[in-house]
Amino acid sequence: MTAQLIKGAEVAAQIREELKKEIADLKTLHNVVPGLVTVLVGADPASQVYVGQKEKTCKELGMYSERYDLPEKTTQQELLDLIKKLNQDPKINGILVQLPLPKHLNEEEVLIAIDPKKDVDGFHPVNVGKLMIGEPDYLPCTPAGIQQLLIRSGAKIEGAEVVVVGRSNIVGKPIANMLLQKAPGANATVTVVHTRTRDMAFHTRRADILIVAAGKAKAITADMVKEGAYVIDVGVNEIGKTAEGKRILSGDVDFEAVKEKARAITPVPGGVGPMTITMLMMNTVRAAKVASGLK
Q: Which is the catalytic residue, given 117, 118, 119, 121?
A: 121
Note if 54 is an active site residue: yes
Closest-CA residue to 232 (of 205, 261, 214, 209): 209
Q: What is the residue type of 62?
A: G
CA-CA distance, 190 to 100, in Å (whole number)? 30
For helices 8-30 and 45-61, angle between their N-to-C axes, nearest 10 degrees:
50
CA distances from 126 to 35, 97, 112, 252 (A): 21, 17, 9, 31
Q: What residue spans of the chain are helical by DSSP H?
A: 8-30, 45-61, 76-87, 107-113, 125-132, 141-152, 172-180, 200-204, 255-258, 273-291
Handedness of CA 246, 270, 20, 36 (dihedral sign): negative
Quick check: is 226 catalytic?
Answer: no
For residue 104, the Cα-to-chain-centroid distance in whole angstroms is 26
* Three-state SS at 227: coil
User: Any idea which residues carry the catalytic annotation?
Assistant: 54, 98, 121
